[in-house]
Structure 1
Amino acid sequence: MPTGDPNPPDRQLSRWSWSVQRAAARKRARQRRLRLSRGSGAALLALGIGLPLPLVYEFTIGDQQARDQAAQVTAGVERGWSQAAAASKPSAAPASPSAVPTPTAVPSPTATAAHGLTATGSYPQHYAEGQAFAVLHVPAIGLDTAIAEGTDTTTVLDHGLIGHYSGAQETAFPWQGLGNFALAAHRTTHGAPFNRLAELKPGDEAVVETAEEFFVYAFTGGIPQVATGDVGVLAPIPAGSGFTAPGRYLTLTTCTPEYSSAGRLIRFGQLVKVVPRSAQPTGIPGL
């Protein structure tokens, strides 16, 4: 929690009413510094050791283009949700505050397994390859990027998006009763949404935003490196996570070491609550 809060408690402002703007400004500054360092570094490498021009492009112009594409997709998804909500809004007077739903706390994995807890929203069973259906927010690393179906590089990951493991490596969706919602994204180049994944620590939060609900996860730990073919981390109870019972989990994967694809860096999280959009009209919920 930041110190020196500029908003006195008696103003009763949401943590997101001031911190989101400040975090966004920091994020833009980091991105500018990152683009400058990547651009200058790639140029020096090209001049000094004859780096192939396609690789220089990948680290500079191509990287920024992917970031811009992802931003456009993310904005488009959220705009579509807003338009759909406005179109379905009844003309009657808004409900009284007492009628607004409250966040739904998710019980322990054992209780989840016993009662088959599911989200209240209505979701399709499948999405087309490359279709964006959610947004992943990770405040600790300034991440706000759309999630699309599939982990194919040419249709999803190379456009700066986060991919949901599908097909032969199908993993669960957040709104399903039990399972592991596993995602992948680039760590370097192509927008690099998971560039700072290694910085995440237990207790940090991730929020998966959908058209109807927010799924709030708490990170519990991770694995510095697994083999590229180690699909155990995608299992319903992800291998190496420390989880021992069925539950509702989040697994983030990306290449490691940085600038290499020799292995995969892993971070695990566990669902702690589901918040209806009606209970969170602005910003995103916290833990």
Structure 2
Amino acid sequence: MKVAHVRALRVAAECAVTLGLVLLLFVAHQLWWTNRQAQEGAAREVAALEREWAAGNGTDPGPIPLAAAPSPRPAQPYAVLVVPRLDLRVPVAEGVGRADVLDKGYVGHYPGTAQPGRAGNFALAGHRDTHGEPFRRLDRLAPGDEVRVETRDAVHTYVVDRTLPQTVPGDGGVLRPVPRSDVRPAYGYRERGHYLTLTTCTPAYTSTYRLVVWGKLRSVRLG
């Protein structure tokens, strides 16, 4: 019985060590490998967009009026989000699906919200952890920080105005044309305007709540 007991303990210990190694590899995959893959893919997409815009597909029709700009297809990268404070330059794609947008390291545009430069609320989502984590340091943004959205025909410059440190994932008020939290009504706006909304999970390494950063459009430079 003693020999059998020792063998059982040894097997249990070996299983625990093996499980620990598997978990360690999984964590390394999630925190390092997915980040590396997504960040490299996102950088390639930014470069591809810039080449496409520079080439103009062989023609130069001039700036397209905002109202006439075509709507992007689902999961299509069509803009570049630039946040100097965070040293961030990342593609913006249509939609907020995990597999086809967010897990690629892109920032996703909430369908139904305004497009950049237009009246209303241009609302975006991005991962805070893993898969490129473009919004890893979103909580560092402060009033006055610039956020630029570059498209084929214009550069839209927003200025961070205020932050909602925490709300529930279903707080749809933050995405409305005049964004205002349904859960914490002291946070948000009451008048129409040209808004930018950036959302991500909080606290870090969880998806329990959402962090929201708002900005207002300051300028649009065509061409």
**Letter matched to residue 242 of structure 1:** G
How do 1:35-114 residues align onto structure 2 when only pairs under 5 Å count? 51=23, 53-84=25-56, 87-88=59-60
Deviation by residue 1:55-106 (Cα, 9 ceiling, x = unmatched):
321111121001111111111111100010763289xxxxxxxxxx9xxxxx
How do 1:219-238 residues align onto structure 2 when only pairs under 5 Å count? 219-238=160-179
Distance 1:122 1:78 in 2: 21
Distance 2:69 2:215 in 1: 22
Query: How many residues are treated as equivalent by the alignment?
Result: 201
Equivalent residue, structure 1, for 2:3: none
Structure 1: segments with no counterpart, 5+ residues: 1-45, 91-100, 102-117, 278-287
Q: Secondary structure at the match of 1:133?
A: strand
**Letter matched to residue 214 of structure 2:** F
Residue 156 of structure 1, aligned match among 91, 95, 101: 101
Q: Identity across aligned pairs (percent)?
A: 42
Q: Secondary structure at the match of 1:65?
A: helix
Equivalent residue, structure 2, for 1:173: 115
Equivalent residue, structure 1, for 2:180: 239
- The alpha-carbon deviation at position 119 of structure 1 amounts to 5.4
RMSD: 2.4
Distance 2:25 2:108 in 1: 28
Distance 1:131 1:250 in 2: 20
Equivalent residue, structure 1, for 2:208: 262
**Letter matched to residue 174 of structure 1:** P
Give the structure-2-normalised TM-score.
0.83
Equivalent residue, structure 2, for 1:111: none
**Do 2:174 and 2:188's aligned partners in 1 also have CA atoms closer than 8 Å?**
no
1:211 and 2:134 equivalent?
no
CA change 1:243–1:119 in 2 (3 A) is farther
Distance 1:184 1:256 in 2: 12
Q: Secondary structure at the match of 1:68?
A: helix
**Letter matched to residue 129 of structure 2:** T
Give the structure-1-normalised TM-score.
0.65
Q: Secondary structure at the match of 1:56?
A: helix
Residue 91 of structure 2, aligned match among 125, 146, 152: 146
More strand by share: 2
- The alpha-carbon deviation at position 175 of structure 1 amounts to 3.5
Comparing 52-61 with 145-154, greater Cα deviation is found at 52-61
CA change 1:263–1:119 in 2 (3 A) is farther
- The alpha-carbon deviation at position 242 of structure 1 amounts to 3.5
Distance 1:182 1:274 in 2: 17
Runs of 4+ that moved beyond 6 A: 46-49
**Letter matched to residue 109 of structure 2:** H
Q: Secondary structure at the match of 1:242?
A: coil
**Do 2:117 and 2:217's aligned partners in 1 also have CA atoms closer than 8 Å?**
no
